[in-house]
């Protein structure tokens, strides 16, 4: 089979593939945004929460991080249904990935906040800043710079984990590719093609992360 033939077929299946890319991007973006938002609060609870809240956040993150993403995906699709919360495959998939993302972001945020020397909080207190002011102007800007690289990793993990949604029938890039393969019997080139697309997505995320990291860097000398 030559390359020209592959590109011919690729052209004929461009719409399902493009739609797969779109679904992958949408699922990942929604999960990363929602997961990061929740994750910041999980991280705050882990760092500053009163004891019962901190334990709750700790149990949540450890439990989620100790569970395979596939199990989370299946659970949010099948188990939530049995307790009367029937989500569509798309919704269940986004929920599972967002939950997974939030536990990781929570840990990242906790780590970044705890890495800031205590003297920073004390200096902020000493000039009379309240806790929320200290957090917004002193801690978060410093933690944000620490978070950036790890957060980019998590975002890339989410994109990769989104392939698991093919199991519950979300027509993301992998499932779209598999459907194309079922019609064309060209498994090897199309799997390579899908792999290449995932690489492109994650590579751009990583470049974006590097760019942001550089932009935010504090001048040292």
Partner 1 sequence: MPHLLEIRDLHKSFGQTEVLKGVDCAMEQGDVVCVIGSSGSGKTTMLRCINMLEDFEGGTIAIDGQQIGYETQRSQRKRRREREIARQRALTGMVFQQFNLFPHMTALANITLGLIKVKKMRREEANATAERWLDRVGLLERKGRFPGQLSGGQQQRVAIARAIAMNPKLMLFDEVTSALDPELVNEVLQVIKDLARDGMTMLLVTHEMRFAYEVSKRVIFMNEGRIGEEGDPKQMFLKPKTERLAEFLKSSSFH
Distance CA 176, CA 91 (A): 18
From 3-11, 21-29, 93-101, 116-124, give the range in contact with partner 1 by CB under 8 A: 116-124
Quote the least distance from Cβ 116 to partner 1, whole Å: 10
132 class by beta-carbon count within 10 Å (0-12 exposed, 13-18 middle, 19+ buried): exposed
Quote the least distance from Cβ 129 to partner 1, whole Å: 6
- How far is residue 126 CA from its own chain's centroid? 38
Sites for partner 1 among residues 159-218 (CB under 8 A): 218
Sites for partner 1 among residues 136-155 (CB under 8 A): 137-138, 141-142, 145
Tokens 């949010």, located at residue: 76
The answer to whether 114 contacts partner 1 (rule: CB under 8 A) is no
Quote the least distance from Cβ 125 to partner 1, whole Å: 6
Quote the least distance from Cβ 149 to partner 1, whole Å: 16
From 1-9, 12-20, 131-139, 163-171, give the range in contact with partner 1 by CB under 8 A: 131-139
The answer to whether 97 contacts partner 1 (rule: CB under 8 A) is no
The answer to whether 122 contacts partner 1 (rule: CB under 8 A) is yes
* Alpha carbons within 13 A on the beta-carbon side of 202: 17
Distance CA 100, CA 155 (A): 11
Instruction: Give the C-alpha distances (Å, rounded to integers) separating 180 from 12, 189, 196.
Output: 10, 11, 16
What is the per-residue DSSP string for 28-40? HHHHHHHHHHHHH
- In the complex with partner 1, the residue whose CB is nearer, 54 or 125, is 125
- In the complex with partner 1, the residue whose CB is nearer, 85 or 216, is 216
- In the complex with partner 1, the residue whose CB is nearer, 98 or 138, is 138
Size of the site for partner 1 (CB under 8 A): 23
Distance CA 45, CA 42 (A): 5
The answer to whether 62 contacts partner 1 (rule: CB under 8 A) is no
What are the tokens at 109?
């945020």
Contact 166, 90 (CB under 8 A): no
What are the tokens at 186?
């060209």
The answer to whether 131 contacts partner 1 (rule: CB under 8 A) is yes
Which residues bind to partner 1, rule: CB under 8 A?
A: 117, 119-120, 122-131, 133, 137-138, 141-142, 145, 218-221
């Amino acid at each position: 089979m030559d390359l020209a033939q592959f590109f011919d077929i690729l052209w004929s299946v461009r719409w399902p593939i493009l739609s797969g890319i779109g679904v992958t991007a949408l699922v990942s973006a929604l999960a990363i945004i929602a997961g990061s938002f929740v994750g910041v609060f999980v991280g705050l609870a882990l760092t500053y929460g009163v004891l019962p809240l901190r334990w709750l956040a700790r149990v949540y993150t450890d439990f989620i991080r100790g569970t395979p993403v596939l199990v989370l995906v299946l659970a949010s699709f099948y188990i939530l249904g049995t307790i009367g919360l029937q989500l569509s495959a798309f919704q269940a998939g986004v929920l599972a990935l967002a939950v997974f993302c939030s536990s990781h972001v929570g840990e990242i945020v906790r780590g970044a906040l705890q890495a800031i020397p205590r003297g920073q909080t004390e200096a902020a207190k000493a000039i009379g800043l309240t806790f929320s002011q200290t957090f917004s102007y002193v801690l978060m800007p410093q933690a944000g710079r620490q978070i950036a690289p790890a957060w980019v990793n998590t975002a890339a993990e989410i994109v990769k984990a989104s392939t698991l949604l093919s199991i519950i029938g979300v027509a993301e890039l992998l499932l779209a590719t598999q459907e194309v393969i079922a019609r064309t019997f060209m498994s090897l080139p199309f799997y390579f093609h899908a792999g290449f697309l995932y690489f492109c997505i994650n590579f751009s995320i990583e470049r974006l992360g590097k760019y942001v990291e550089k932009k935010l860097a504090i001048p040292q000398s």
